Each structure stands twice: as C-alpha cells, then as structure tokens.
A and B are shown apart, each in its own frame.
Chain A
Amino acid sequence: MSKELSINPLETEAIHIFREVVSQFEKPVLLFSGGKDSITLVRLAQKAFWPAKIPFPLLHVDTGHNFPETIEFRDRLAKELGVELIVRNVQDAIDAGKVKEETGKYASRNSLQTVTLLDALEEFKFDAAIGGARRDEEKARAKERIFSVRDDFGQWDEKNQRPELFDMLNGKIDLGQNVRVFPISNWTELDVWSYIEQEEIEIPSIYFAHKRKTFVRDGMIWSAEDDVVYREEDEIVEERLVRFRTVGDMSCTAAVLSDAVSIEKVVGEIRESTISERGARIDDKRSEAAMETRKQQGYF
C-alpha cells in the first residue's frame, strides 16, 4: 500500500524557515524559555534536520524569577537532545549596574531581559536569534516579519521593514546587525496547543491544573509560593486549583482557575476561552503601545 504524506501547512512553513536560517546565517541560536512556544520550536527544529542533530545551541535568558518546574524541564530537554544550552542571567546585569531592578507593586524583571539578551548575542556573535513569538499574541507582533532585521543596538525599525514575498526570505545583513527569526509567526495559541497534543510533546507541569497558594489582585490570580511576586499584607493567600497559560517571569504571569489536568482538557479550555493569552500578562497591560516600545528597544 502506498503511503502518502499528509501536510500541516503551518508545520511545513516553519520547517522551511528553519532550513533557511541555517543556510543563510553563520551562527544562529534558538531562544529557549522552557515555555510551550519554544518547546514547539525545538520539535520543529528536530523535524527540519533529522537525522542530524539540531545544528544550533539553545539560549535561555534567565530572569531568576522563573518557575522552578520550567528550569528543571529546560535542563532535562537540552540533555536529551544533546544540544548545547547557554544560560545568561538577568541578575548579572543587575549586579553590574547595567539595569535597575523595578520596585513596587508591579515590579517585574521582564523588560530587563533585553539587556542580557543583547549582551549574549554580542558575546557569542550570534547573527540570528530564533524565537517563538506569534503574530496573534499582540497587535505590534502582528506587524512583525519572519526575518526581522535588528540594528547594532538590537532595535526594531517598524516603519522600514523588508517586504517578505512568497516563501522567499532575505537574511542578508551587515556585520553587527542580527536577525530575529519567528518560524511560528502564523500559528495561533490554539494551533500550538493542538500541535503539542497531536505530537505528544512533553511540557512543564505548571501548564496543567495543580493546587497552588495564590492571591488575587486586579481580578488576576498570582502565585504566592515564592517571594518573587510582591504581595501586600491585605492580599489574602488561598489555595486554588490553577494552571498557567504562559510561563514568563513569575512576577508578571498570572494563573487561571482550571481543572485541566491533561493536554486534551487544556486544548478544550483554550477553545472555549474568552480571554486572550497575553491578557494574563501584566507587562502588556501597562499601556497600549507597551509591546511596540519594548520591541524598539530590542526585546524580541
């Protein structure tokens, strides 16, 4: 019996992008946070180059405020893949006085990541940084290219982007410039979850419903298990059944009430959901232009 390949157009597109990256750049790196999007990227990279190993290292910019479950998962995955894992810490930039830690109720290290990221790109002379950003996440991201050129300062010039036509990707850059590459640009949150389900990809446990000590602020649920998240005395801690939809910095990632203990249940929940994924990220709520401003400064 003849066995014919069936096509997932989003998967096919992402694999095509990965193969262009290794062909057009000297030193690519995959930005790996341990979150579901970067885990999906890793699977796609495996598919693009099999039977060869993934031909670039993973880079994690660690805010020091990550969920311990994510860090454990990150280390194990890199080991299994036999791929080099580079970790650079935001704490080092704070200690060196390069960035100043935010204080107060809404303090977060999320925006501080940019400096450490740019330093790491410079340190290793990476010319392409592959990230798991998706256009459906946020309005400014919706305008992002697949190959997004950044200048020496890592800045995004949103008004002067290269047009991208058909499948043709132009990664030609000058020395000192680098490119951010987004292979899953065209995926939605639901596409990512469905893919994880279909491919049976392992993800960190915090994505599934679990009991956690939490408190509520501004209608959002925050973890109270670590002292990373600032909490006022009158904010009462209660144990709730929750899960996380993104695994960013603990200080800016809220939980949602959920009893989804399996991937099928999580996919079902996403389908029914009426709040967008970034709705649980306080960093975007700061202002309508929050993402655009951070991207201009070099955030991925």
Chain B
Amino acid sequence: MEVLKIATAGSVDDGKSTLIGRILYDTKSLTTDKLEAIETRSKANGFDYLDFSLATDGLVAEREQGITIDVAHIYFSTAKKSYIIADTPGHIEYTRNMVTGASTSQASIILVDARNGVIEQTYRHFFINNLLRIKDIVVAVNKMDLVDFSEEKFNAIKAEFEKMIAQSDYKDQNITFVPISALKGDNVVSTSENTPWYKGESILDHLEKLEAQDVFEKGQARFPVQTVIRPKKDEFHDFRGYAGKLYGGDLAVGDQVTVLPSLTKSKIKEIYFFDKKFDKAGRGSSINVTLEDNINVSRGDMIVKTGEEPGVHKTLKAKVCWMDSKNLVGGTKYLLQHGVNRVQAMVTGIDNVLAPDFSGEDASADALALNQIGEVNIKLAKPVFYDKYAENKTNGSFILIDPQTNHTAGVGFIQ
C-alpha cells in the first residue's frame, strides 16, 4: 500500500485540527468510541457542534488552552492509500515543530482564514514549505462559510498568495487552491454545492491523485552504511554485509562502486533483503549489501556508484533553522549529524538572518535565536560527503547536536 505523508500549517485558530478531524470523520476513520468521546467533550465545553480538534489535541495543556503545541501524527486510509498527517502547530514560537513535521512529508496543506487573508504567518508557512522543497502544496482557504462563500474573497486571497509564489525559486512546486469550510465540511472530502463557481476538486480527491513515491527524491544513489553485519555462524563464516537505507537512486548487482571517504573501489556482489537475494534495489529500501572485494567499510561510510561521487568537503554553507533556546553564535562547537555520520563541527560565522516577517535578510545579525532561520558557515573536523539539499534531500541535510545537552539544536539545508 502507498503511504502519503502530509504536513499541515496554519495560524492559531485557522482550523487545522478541525480540518483533520473533519477528514477523519468524513472518511469514517473515527471509530465509535473516539466519536463518543468527542461528543461528550463538545457538550461539556458547551459547543452546539462537534469539536473535531478534540480528535487530535492529545496533551492536557493543549485541550485546556484549545491549541496544538506539539506535532501529532494522525493516520487514516482510503481504498487507494494510507495517509499520515503531521498536525503541526501554527503559532510563531513553534516553527521548529513545523519544520520537523514537514521534513518527512511529501505534501503540505497551508490553511488561510478567509476573513483574514494572507498574513505574516502565511509567508512563514509558505517559506518553510519552500525551503524544505515540499513538492505539493494545497492552499486551503478555510471558513468560507463565514464570508458567504464569496468567490471574490477567494480570488483576492489567491492573487495575494500568487505574488509570493512569483518570488519563489522552486518552480517545480505544484500549488492548488481550494475554498473550504472545515467545520461544515465543504470541499474537504466531497465538492460543495455552496461553491458552484469552484471547478476544482475537494482536498481529499486531490490528495488521492498524488504520487506517494515522491518522498524518495530522484537523483544519484547514496547508500550510507548504518552497521556492518558479521553473523559469526559456520554457514556464513566470511559474510560481511553492509546494512543501510538507500536514497536517491537504484543499486544493482555488478555496479561499480566507490566507498567514501576512503575512495576505495569495488563492485556490488549481492543485495539481500532479509534472507532473499535481489538483482536490484530502489531508493527507499533498507538493504544489506556485500562487495566483491574485502575492503574496510564501517558505519558512517557511504557507498555510491563510481562516477557519481558527491563532493568531499571540510566546510559547508547552509540555511539553518534554529530549534534551541540557547542562541547559535559564531565560534561555538556542535556535533554535526549528517545522515548516520557524526563529526565535530564549529560554526565559523552567520551570514544573515531572515527577518521575523520573512520580508528580507538582516546581514548584521550575529546570532540565530529559537525559531529563526539564517545562513550559516560551518567548519568540519573530518571531511563530509554531501550534496546540495536541492539535489538530494537526505544527503543535503544535517542536524546540529548540542554536546552539553545532547539536544537536537538545529537543522541545516546545505546550499
């Protein structure tokens, strides 16, 4: 079964949780007991309609404040696909959660309140989706019932949004606008009679047509070795398998390969998945590979096809989204995790920081605060073999780990 991962973004009260609850309800994914719990709670809160946000807001603090604090994962399926929705908080302080949710998603839904139109938060949401190169974006103009399902209002918001798109450098992004009422269900799962002027599909119909495989970006094969498998059994006495997940492209038996960073060359001898051998494996598969030659390969090394080697560098420049309460400043040491590989890293400088309203860059800034995004230069203690994020998402991203707290302090997208 295909799995499609979707992120959601919207400001507080734009109705994200309500939209997700509505999708669950209309696809009959809410079971009787969960529905009963929502009914009981809605009544207790004095609502005269079902509050679907109660289906997703899992923490006590969230239900008390009526807001979403942390990323929640919601699951439902149709006859065609399995869906995983990352319900990401819209409040400004929670940018890090939005980046987190979007990092594993192929598609994204950005909510806009029809009464307020495109606001500062919308810029932020679009920018993050752009930075992470989310291929498909649905702009759901919500609360259309509160503006009398006005076509003019919808078109004005669309025009405003298209001004942002015009400035984007990611031209392959597909952007679809849908007028909805999450609360009432218009154009969410089926098209609505209230918007006869809208000729497009409902949100779900649109999602049903998307290619779920796109999460494994196409490009060159990158095979980071997670662990070396040595069974120490008589039957497999000399077996040395390199286990990992394959990204970017295919690997086949007989392929000429180069191992990084040693640059030793060999050939793929066997490809195993569990106890079966295959001639070829595609991107996204977790395999176990043996090589023709007995060479030294260990965790953190990377196997690539000869002639397709990524650059091997001791410095890098990246857009970094900061996720820690302690500011990022020049001269600080972090542990940089690139895939499964970790190296010591030093932040040598901050080129610029994006303004809070995302209107421009501040080149004089010398620190990156929580939820800020900026361009950062990093020096590495050992060479790292990376691609640009735009060319290979997995091999072009990294996290920074604070050696004092062990926390994941930031995420970088290599330029």
Contact = CB atoms under 8 A, between A and B. Distances in A.
Contacts of B37: 288
B406 A20 contact: no
Interface string A275-299: 1100100000000110010000000
Contacts of B227: 19, 22-23
B77 A167 contact: no
Nearest to A289: B60
Nearest to A49: B229
A172 B32 CA distance: 41
Contacts of B3: 9-10, 186
A29 B56 CA distance: 31
A262 interface: no
B231 A52 contact: yes
A167 B100 CA distance: 11
A275 B33 contact: yes
A143 B285 contact: no
A50 B397 contact: no
B207 interface: no
Contact of A19 (B56, B103, B243, B401): B243
A234 B398 CA distance: 63
B274 A292 contact: no
A7 B250 CA distance: 12
B243 A166 contact: no
A23 B340 contact: yes
Interface in A1-42: 2-5, 7, 9-13, 15-16, 19-20, 22-23
B384 to A, nearest CB: 14
Contact of A292 (B60, B69, B323): B60
Interface in A142-185: 142-143, 149, 158-159, 161-168, 170, 172-174, 185
A276 B31 contact: yes
A122 interface: no
Contacts of A158: 59, 70
B183 interface: no
Contacts of B399: 165, 168, 170
B89 to A, nearest CB: 11
B286 A274 contact: no
Interface residues of B, number: 79
Interface size class of chain A, counting residues whose CB lies under 8 Å from the partner chain: 35 or more
A16 B401 contact: no
A168 to B, nearest CB: 5
A3 B280 CA distance: 7
Q: Is chain B's interface secondary structure helix, strand, loop, or mixed overall?
A: mixed
A194 B1 CA distance: 10
A104 interface: no
Contacts of B69: 159
Contacts of A163: 96-97, 99-100, 323, 408, 411
B354 to A, nearest CB: 18
B231 A53 contact: yes
A188 B58 CA distance: 17
B31 A19 contact: no
Contacts of A191: 82
Interface centre among A5, A16, A162, A279 (most CB of B within 10 A): A5
Contacts of B84: 186
A97 interface: no
B74 interface: yes
A250 B277 CA distance: 43
B73 A142 contact: yes
Contacts of B231: 51-53
Interface string B271-293: 11111011111101111100000
Given A5-B278, A49-B229, A142 B58 contact: yes
B393 A135 contact: no
Contacts of A52: 229-233
Contacts of A288: 37, 41, 63
Given A159-B61, A162-B408, A165-B399, A51 B280 contact: no
A259 interface: no
Given A47-B273, A163-B411, A5 B285 contact: yes
B401 A142 contact: no
Contact of B406 (A48, A172, A190, A276): A172
Interface in B1-50: 1, 3, 31-34, 37, 41
A274 B335 contact: no
A165 B275 contact: no
A275 B77 contact: no
B174 interface: no
A27 to B, nearest CB: 16
Contacts of B56: 139, 142
A149 B401 CA distance: 14
Contacts of B288: 50
B372 interface: no
B226 interface: yes
Contacts of A19: 226-227, 243-244, 286
Interface string B169-181: 0000000000000
Given A7-B285, A138-B58, A279-B34, 15 more contacts: A51-B229, A51-B239, A52-B233, A139-B58, A158-B70, A159-B69, A164-B408, A165-B99, A165-B397, A166-B104, A168-B339, A174-B406, A186-B84, A188-B82, A279-B31
21 contacts: A5-B271, A15-B245, A16-B245, A48-B243, A50-B288, A51-B241, A136-B75, A140-B59, A142-B58, A159-B70, A163-B97, A170-B337, A170-B401, A170-B406, A172-B406, A186-B3, A188-B75, A273-B31, A274-B32, A275-B31, A288-B41
Q: Top 8 closest A-B pairs, CB basis? A: A139-B58, A279-B33, A15-B286, A172-B406, A52-B231, A19-B226, A276-B31, A163-B100
